[in-house]
Every structure is written in structure tokens, then in C-alpha cells.
Structure 1
Amino acid sequence: MDTETYAFGPYKIDPKEVFYSTHLSYAMVNLRPLLPGHVLVCPRREVKRFVDLTADETSDLWLTAQEVGSQLESYHKASSLTFAIQDGPQAGQTVPHVHIHIVPRKGGDFEKNDEIYDAIDMKEKELQQKLDLDKERKDRSMEEMAEEAQEYRKLLS
């Protein structure tokens, strides 16, 4: 996995951030996770909108999300998962590459359960505007992300 290259819209993803991949999809750790275990699953092919995925890509993307989510829910001792896609700019998508947010959830992690969607939307806007609107959520170092990805690789190998 370390010699492969990964694109996330216009961004090049360091293979150390990727912890699971198939021939059509990959999973990576998040630069600014909302909660522990918040990761992204993306198609390998750069596709801007969900409707533009092939049937094989769609199936593989969701099967990858299912496997990754299952393992991370157990690892983080969570009781539920949030799967979210922002499909297009008006839906809050800021990186023009289809991706599924997977967030392991526990009771009380947000005051109101659906606040997770506002938080995801705010995170996307921060990336686009390069503003630090949420002072508690800091960019993580490459070392932190590589270490997390290594732990998740063990789960999914």
C-alpha cells in the first residue's frame, strides 16, 4: 500500500494516511476528525458526483464503508455509525471527489444527535476557506495520522 498514490480531488494523499484499499476504493484517516474514528472512504477514480460512479464503484464504495465502519465501531467501542455524503456544492461538498464520512457514535457525543451533520458541514467549509472556525479542532500531524492509520490497518488486514 505504501507505494501507491491516492488523489482526493486536487489533493495528493500520503499513502501513510490510507489504511484500507480495494481495486476501486480506499479509506483514509481524517485531518480534522469530529470524533475518534472519523474517517473517509473514497473511490480511487476521481469522481465529482455520486451519480457519476459506475455500478461496480458504487457497490465497492459501500462495501468498503460497511467493512471499515464495522471494524471502527468495534475498535472505538461505539454503539452506532454515521455515514454521510455531501453530493455537490449545494450539499456542502467542498472537495470535488465523492467521499463517505464514517463516524463511530456513542450516546451523548453531541448534545443533539443530528448536530453531527452541521459539524460535518462546518468542517467542509473550514477546509474550503482554510479558516480555523472551531478552535478545539486542530490539524493533526502526519505522524499522528500515520500512527492512527497503522492501527486501523491491523484491524482490516
Structure 2
Amino acid sequence: MVKHLLLPYLVPSPRLFHLHSLRAFRPISSTIKMTAGVEHYTFGPYKIHKSEVFYTTLLSYAMVNLRPLLPGHILFFWASIIREVKRFVDLTADETSDLWLTAQKVGRELEDYHKASSLTFAIQDGPQAGQTVPHVHIHIVPRRSGDFENNDEIYDAMDEKEKELKQKLDLDKERKDKTLEEMSREAEEYRKLF
């Protein structure tokens, strides 16, 4: 069961949430289960099995990574269940706030869980910035000293990873795909953090 965040703020946009019968500035006092009955999520043209998702809010979700760069490397997405958003610049203020505040919370827990000392948050917004999957997402990577010879090499590695995904993950033989079972177990471990 995916755990859901109790949003600690008021919902300011009734237009965005009309499907949920929420009113402007109405406090959310109970868990909202948008994902009940959902078999998969979408990431651009890709289907993500619900067992790979370990955390959701009203507007975003976190999933384990098929080919992580480092232990704990996850992807954090804008929830396309509400509307399709390809670019970060197209998010509303409320959507941006939910995405980044929740990424901060998830990152904090993953850093602690993986006994890391830092975090890399990375977003590529548009094709010239390296975005190859047209869906707003953030890479969250727990970091340790020496995990890359040159600290900023992680950005080259992420760019390569994005290109691989677009090419159906045919490249980069050093990193192996995890099975759905492995990804489900990892997601279950992360669910316990929340």
C-alpha cells in the first residue's frame, strides 16, 4: 500500500482539485487516496508499475529507479493523473511547491537511510537541457564522499542515463536493470520510512 502525505498546508486552487470536491483554502485533514485502483503510473510514454512507487502526495510521486547511478537514486515525478506536464516551467506555483517540498522530505529520508552525507537534486527542463522523457521529474541521489572521482561527473552520468531511457535502455552495460521484484522490494523498504 502506497502511503500518502497529509498535506501540511491549505489547498489554494479549487479549479485544479475539482475532481476531489475540495474547496478553496479547505484544510486537508485526512489522507487522500488518489491512487486507489491505479495499476500503473506514467512517465512520458512509459508505464510504471504501482509496486515501484513508494511515496505519493496529491500532486507527485516517488519511485525506485530501474538503473540507479548510486544506491538510493530515485525519480520523483509530477503526477500526470491530474494533467500532463512536460516542462517544469509549465507547473503552477502550487504544483511546484508540492513537488519540491516533497522532494526535500523524500531526499532527507533517503540520505539518512543510505547513510549518505549529501544529496543531488537534478532536473532537466527541455531537450536542450538533456531532458529526453517529456515528463517533469527530479532525480534525487544520496551522495557520499568519493562516489564519483570528480563530483560533478554525476551530471554527465544522468545525461547519459536519460538518453539510454529514451533508447529503451539498450546502452550502459555496466549498470544492470533491476527486476520488477527487486524494485518492488526496494520500494517496500522505502515505504517504511514514511
Q: Which moved more, 1:3-12 or 1:70-79?
A: 3-12
More off after superposition, 104-113 vs 7-16: 7-16
Q: 1:3: Cα distance to partner?
A: 3.0
Q: Unaligned regions of 5+ residues in structure 2, if any?
A: 3-35
Partner of 1:37: 72
Contact kept? 1:41, 1:99, Cα under 8 Å = yes
Distance 2:161 2:146 in 1: 20
Q: What's the offset of the Cα at 1:131? A: 5.1
Q: Which moved more, 1:108-117 or 1:42-51?
A: 42-51
Superposition RMSD in Å: 1.2
Q: Which amino acid aligns with 1:35?
A: L
User: Which residue of structure 1 lines up, in the alignment, with residue 102 of structure 2?
Assistant: 64
- Choose which of 93, 101, 113 in structure 2 pairs with 1:75: 113
Q: Which residue of 1 aligns with 2:37?
A: 3
8 A contact 1:83–1:100 mirrored in 2: yes
Separation (CA, whole Å) in 1 of partners of 2:46 and 2:183: 16
TM-score (norm 2): 0.77
**1:100 matched to 2:138:** yes
| Superposition TM-score, scaled by structure 1 size | 0.95
Residue correspondence of structure 1 range 105-116 to structure 2 within 5 A: 105-116=143-154
Count the aligned residue pairs: 156
Relative contact order, higher structure (CA 8 A, sep 6+)? 1
Task: Give the Cα separation in 1 of the matches to 2:168 and 2:54.
Answer: 26
Counterparts of 1:64 and 1:12, CA distance in 2 = 22
Specify the alignment match of 2:49 in structure 1: 14
- Give the aligned partner of residue 155 of structure 1: 193
Residue 135 of structure 1 and its aligned partner are, at CA, apart by 1.7
Is 50-59 or 75-84 further displaced after alignment? 50-59
Structure 1: distance between partners of 2:176 and 2:85: 28
Q: Return the alpha-carbon distance in structure 1 between the equivalents of residues 41 and 92 of structure 2.
A: 19
Q: Which amino acid aligns with 1:95?
A: V
* Structure with max Cα Rg: 2
In structure 1, stretches of 5+ residues that fail to align are: none
Question: How big is the shift at 1:83?
Answer: 0.2
Which has the larger helix fraction? 1
Instruction: Indicate the SS of the match to 2:145.
Output: coil
Q: Is the 8 A contact 1:86 1:93 kept in 2?
A: yes
Looking at structure 2, the residues matched to 135 and 11 of structure 1 have their Cα atoms a distance apart, in angstroms, of: 21
2: CA distance, partners of 1:131 / 1:20: 24
